[in-house]
Amino acid sequence: YISVETYRLQLLAVAVSAGVTATFGAPVGGVLFSIEVTATFFFVSSLWKGFYTAIACMVVFRLARLLPLVELFQVEDLPALTITLETFAFIILAILCGVLSGIIVFFVGVLNSITKRFPIPVRYAWAAGVAVIDAGVAYASPLLWQLDKGLLGDMLNVSHHEAASDVINKAGDLAIVFVAKICLMILSMSCWVPAGLFLPVFTIGAVSGRLYGLLVHELLA
């Protein structure tokens, strides 16, 4: 027995896969993106359907080129592929991010397996303790004094990056923020209360990218 909701989620997954494939010409990326978008209720049985839809979309896209009724854009002038030291730096960054993600998921699972055994009053006390720790850690660095939205904006603001004396260009402060944000996110996810996740993840990514960029710049300088 398959419910209507199951069919709806499967159609959503294949629709996202087809849309990304048709827009960017990336069938594998379309399937992976469909998994990411519908990850909360993603069904493994939808995987092959997403691949089939992406392949069908590419076939239709190629056939449409043969018809004079449809005008499709064509990319002819592509830059030459060059491999530099920065390429290897990005590869190392991807490996480090994958390892770090696995570590975060592991500790979140361990903490959740422990806190789910707590009775309800203890869970409230645990959440209050995490809030106190969060408030105390905020004084470890000036970057932690602001909300994630402001911190993310500072990391992405190019004008700040040119000021060598700016706090966002100090590796020590960035390292403190990086470690603090990861630890606080893990603790917050173990509180069994609604908590934001996407913005802290984006902030951690921006801070780690800025910190990694500073380190690579010093090594390659």
Distance, CA of 170 to CA of 214 (rounded, Å) = 9
Residues 63-97: tens digit of each pLDDT: 777 776 666 556 566 677 777 888 888 889 889 98
Q: How confident is the model at residue 159 (pLDDT cuts 50, 70, 90)?
A: low
User: Residue 99's pLDDT is what?
Assistant: 92
Predicted confidence (pLDDT) at residue 219 exceeds the cutoff of 70? yes
Average pLDDT over residues 175-200: 83
Q: What is the pTM of this model?
A: 0.62
| Long-range CB contacts (within 8 A, 24+) of 18-26 | 18/53, 18/54, 18/56, 18/57, 21/53, 21/54, 21/57, 21/58, 21/61, 22/57, 22/61, 25/58, 25/61
**Residue 162 pLDDT greater than 60, yes or no:** no
Which residues have C-beta within 8 Å of that of residue 202, sequence separation ≥ 6?
A: 148, 152
Whole-number Å distance between alpha carbons of 26 and 18: 10
* Angle at alpha carbon of residue 200, lines to 176 and 12, rounded to 5°: 150
Whole-number pLDDT of residue 54: 84
Q: What is the mean pLDDT of residues 10-36?
A: 80
Alpha helix ranges (H) inside 116-170: 120-137, 148-156, 158-161
pLDDT per residue as tens digits for the range 101-137:
899 989 988 998 998 888 988 988 998 998 888 888 8
Q: Give which of 141, 149, 138 is closest to 176, Cα–Cα.
A: 141
Token pair 């998921």: residue: 105
User: Rounded to an integer, what distance in angstroms lies between the CA atom of residue 152 and that of residue 204?
Assistant: 9
